[in-house]
Chains A and B, each alone.
Chain A
């Protein structure tokens, strides 16, 4: 049995292995993490709902299943959490919106259900910005309390970054998986649009919303993706493509990757991020990667403009009836964008979708020559908590539905995590994850936030 003080350091893969080998009790693991969440909560404010009773019940059942010799799922006994826009049976889905405070979900979302079926144990629901939009949440960045944890998956990012649990689910419409992962020193994976079902998740903008994990390692992200990916007829955009065995794909060493370094993102990044990303590229090149400077096939601001029009129009439509009924409980930013989105002209949305299709084709051509594109995850280190940070470097890949991943890559002089982003081809998470694991090994990031709680 590992030292209890180290249980929170276990990755999901390590915990699953120890549990399967009967070297670790799921009850002990759940108890240790619940205690850690309770201790941190007044300081980090990462959870909306902690389901201690339900988690302990599930942990005891997991232990019994080990005794019984039952078939065990790949995440048997492994704790997880879900952003508070995912439905989880018996728990409220509040989305940070007061009128939903008592809206208890009758059933699990597709993804929460898949994780439970794989043996994972839900500890609770993590804080989201209201409706996964841009109004900052109360969550605190574990690296520095005077900086944002990012958003909208703020509780998911901060809880994984602070090692309160090994993995949690987030969503991304602009940059809400990768940016909180980056700002909290964690790994964030946004799969291809349609690869993971959105069923049972409150929408923000249908054609931009993605579900995915934040974890501490590429292996854990692959492990979770392998469980939650796959066709779901209840999500009209769910893809029927077969799901590779991502974890098996990581078992064999990959050759040094071919990376396209997106130079305009370097030019737009803050100086310390630019210098850091250049140094990462140099390190990867020294380790054998082929790194070639490339530029986007269309102006960067066009990607953002198309994203903005799409997001405004869809979010306004998603929220139209609730907004008309009573907008007083909406936070200022989402209230403003959804009210305004409702008056955008029809031509703008349709023109944006035509441009989106053209951008997707142009960008696919660029990506054909590389295993992944390399760029900073965000233009900046986590800024002050007045905003959730800058989504502009993540939004193009949400717009195009391409798989992307953020990896922690260093720590700044003032104690904040740097991160780099990799982007791969449509439905090619296998290559993305293999490339990410290669990069992860070269960078060997091992820093952790201070524990002042």
Chain B
């Protein structure tokens, strides 16, 4: 399914922050998780992974540190900061407002005779 670019972009930061709230991670694992969560439907393009991670690092929402992969390779990890956790909470509440509004009207799209909640 082709997902609107604006929708993919809008959900990218909350997804990254939320995934990191589950524990520190690194780029490849994060995008793999996004694929699992979306059944492969969310296709990230340039700007949505590493530029995003570097931006939220600059903004203090995550902090980065270098570690090692299983094979001993240098790997850059990211962990959520306190500020990041607070920002994530703001994202969650905003999405809940939108989600609630949409749930009230999807049924209209499916059944024009239905009344809005």
> Do chains A and B interact in one complex?
no
